[in-house]
Amino acid sequence: MGDQIQRLLYHYGRWFIIGLPLLWLMLFFMFPLLEMAQVSFTEARRGIPPFKPLWGFGDDGFFTNFTLGNYQLIYDFYEDYLGPALNSLRIAFFSTLFCLFFAYPMAYWIARSPDDMRHILLILVLLPFWTSSLLRMYALIGLLNPNGFVNGMLLWLGVIDTPIPMMQTDLSVYLGMLLTYLPLMILPLYATLTRLDHSLHEAASDLGASSFTIFFTITIPLSLSGIIAGCLLVFIPAVGEFVIPALLGGPDQVMLGKVLWTEFFRNRDWPVAAAIALILMVIVTGPIIYMRYVDRGEDAEGERA
């Protein structure tokens, strides 16, 4: 009897552990995504909600407001959306590269530190997440303003004669991205680097390999999974970023996040905004799904071989 109860608890407990996060994803990810897809195929209207129902039953029976007009509108006026889209991809791409450039040596240093120091260093990495990102952006504004700390220090040292314009430039946006997303790049890199077998480094060193050769032929290839994970964690939210370019950028740094905000709240054209959001999601997740499919195909071929 006791063994039977234990088996039942194991069986239903396993489904409970799997079902709880699955339910969470369905409620707060899948259903909103389906609703957004539905809104993208209907028409805008004045009122609440600011879009017509996609389908339903009225006095004349079943009706539908299905239309591809929102996507056609984006295609017809693609120049209004192409600039912010390319801007988003450019800023997200270079922000990811900058984060990787600064995060890799930091993650490598933490991974090679003594065990009692790793916890302290990881806490220091996570400290920015304990404060509001909005406060961090305003602190950065205080540093980069023409009368801010950086220009004031350079003027005091006599390095410059007039303040350097750093606000509302690509530099300020990239610094904001780096300040916000750097921990997201460090953590997966650290998790990968801590699992490296350092005996491989010692063996390569004994065979006469230089530190430069060891790093680029052993460390980098073995940490590639952490690099890919960190780049995805940074690139995906950076593409749709709204707060950073709105506070630190200028008219040349308009990204799709700003376009979405304008369509949702200023123009109140939710169907067009939903269509833009879906297109952005396909652009970002399409290559990821494709790469995952290719990796599975290669693994299957390797197993058959």
* Separation of first and last alpha carbons in the chain: 48
C-alpha to C-alpha distance for 275 and 302, rounded to whole angstroms: 40
State how far the alpha carbon of 222 is from the alpha carbons of 8, 65, 122, 206, 212, in Å.
Answer: 42, 53, 22, 19, 15
C-alpha to C-alpha distance for 177 and 38, rounded to whole angstroms: 32
Position 234 scores a pLDDT of 93
State how far the alpha carbon of 25 is from the alpha carbons of 35, 36, 153, 254, 286, in Å.
Answer: 14, 15, 49, 31, 20
Angle (CA) 227-172-168 rounded to 5° is: 140
Strand intervals (E) in the chain? 55-58, 61-64
pTM of the model: 0.83
> Which region, left, alpha or beta, applies to residue 199 given φ > 0 means left and ψ of -120 to 50 means alpha?
alpha
What superfamily in CATH does domain 81-268 come from? MetI-like (1.10.3720.10)
Non-local (6+) Cβ contacts of 301 within 8 A are none
| SS3 readout for 74-106 | HHHCHHHHHHHHHHHHHHHHHHHHHHHHHHHHH
Position 10 scores a pLDDT of 66
**Which residue is it, tokens 């017509």?**
52
> Do residues 186 and 125 touch, judged by C-beta distance below 8 A?
yes
Task: List the pLDDT tens digit at each of the 305 positions of the chain.
Answer: 556 666 666 666 777 777 888 888 888 888 888 999 999 999 988 888 888 888 888 777 788 888 988 998 888 887 788 888 889 989 999 999 999 999 999 999 999 888 888 889 998 998 888 888 888 999 999 999 888 888 889 899 888 888 888 888 889 999 999 999 999 999 999 999 998 887 888 888 888 888 888 888 888 988 998 998 899 889 988 998 888 998 998 887 788 888 888 888 888 889 999 999 898 888 888 767 766 665 565 455 555 55
> Do residues 102 and 183 touch, judged by C-beta distance below 8 A?
no
Position 258 scores a pLDDT of 87
Domain boundaries along the sequence of the chain: 81-268
Kindly give the interhelix angle for 270-304 and 31-40, rounded to the nearest 10 degrees: 120
Position 96 scores a pLDDT of 94
Position 23 scores a pLDDT of 87
Angle (CA) 152-153-154 rounded to 5° is: 95
Position 299 scores a pLDDT of 53
**Which residue is it, tokens 């995060």?**
103
